[in-house]
A and B are shown apart, each in its own frame.
Chain A
Amino acid sequence: MGRVEELIKAHGELEREVYLDFENSSPVPSEIVEAMLPYFNRIAYGNPTLTHKPGWEAYEAIWKSAEKIAGFIGAREPEEINFTPGETEANNLALMGAALKNRRNGRKIIVSEIEPLSVLHVCRMLENYGFITVKVPVDGEGFVDLEELKRAVDREVVLASFMSVNNEIGTIEPIKEIVEIVKDRSPEAIFHTDASDAYGRIPFHVERLGVDLATISSYKILGPRGVGALYVRSGVPLEKILEGQFGTQKLWPGVENTPLIMGFYSASEKAFANFERNVEHMRRLRDKLINGILEGVDEAILNGPRDDKRAPDNVNVSFLKCEGESLTVELSLKGVYVSSGSACTRRILQPSHVLLAIGRRFEEAHGSILMKVTRYHTDEDIDYVLRAIRESVARLRTIYGSMGG
């Protein structure tokens, strides 16, 4: 088992292709690729710590990117932006770095049940070093239970991590209130938020929210993969988690990847130019997709909240009597690319922890698909997707049949 050539060929000539799996990877728009290209071999290809022109050019390019990105999230200093190879690495750095450096302040880490695995699994790892994780539950739409949070936080809390927008179900969490609750009860605690699904899609301002650490990711705003950043408020003590040759990035060793950082910067600029218009466009297509599915397909359930409480790009729907992995394959054959919260690729039969945390039954979680719309999608794309979903769910339900009933 190894080759998938035949699977790719089986798609044949597709009438249209609509990529909606922006949760897991992203095509990079040509205009952003164009912005990166000079940095591979025409300019700034040197190591930014070295004393020659290509090195200084790289230093300048990285500095400018940090300055701009700092501006987009309301950070005070460009030095507060620490480039990493992505969201996973930034979350690892935030949690391990903050817990290990500040262990004298306490041993308790507070998170929600629906954090990404690059947070939850790091917590599990930190438990091996004497830390205790407390997971705060969420309600049926994914909102953190603030009363439970109040009960859970005490002076032992050294670190809290709550994502700004849930990556699977689009819930926009009340981060400002969560920060206040945590800091009221444990003033020394360091507050981290994974803002990868907030950045470029909802107003996000580190100073106004009062967070100490924030993760942002390039590919989640249509930039290249392999780059992200951790905002670290100046003065917040963090341990490095990798050792080696350090350059311009104080917390991440190795040679800076200038073209990727430029791609991240360019993607950020394009997300924030006409921010309101971009968001309105996404929100309209999101609602068209959600409403079209709920009206056009029986036994379909929306996962997560609606309207202004939901990220403008996120659509997550469960179909009963239709298993999610089958649906991703069937939709792929029609040129529609989505992902599923089904457990189908795992033997231990555990579907998406986020869907289970909001109270979805197993069969609802197995039948879920996750889609994200962008400013590049059109009404025609969504019409095509809706037709493909209706046809695909209908065909898979004929395979389900009566199931012996």
Chain B
Amino acid sequence: MKFLESGKMQKVPWGVFAGICFIALFWLTAGVIAAYIITNAVAGATNSSVGLFDNWYQTLLFVLDVVFILLFAVCVVLFALKRRYKSSAAAQNRGGAEK
């Protein structure tokens, strides 16, 4: 967790980033599902069907969704690590002060 000790990393608002990523992935996931349902409904009118990647925008939505899932996971982990680091640093500081 060395990298968390740098000042720059300490200042990054990982929680906010995680929130942004969550919003993005939430609506992207909704978009992937909606695109699938709608394109399938249209295709269903001629009794064909489509998969998740039949159109470029479906693929784009899916790729972005995956990217934001990963970013969200990273941000959450970093947010948690940062909190843990902060609390352990605070505890150390308190310990040092008590000594």
Task: Say whether A associates with B.
Answer: no
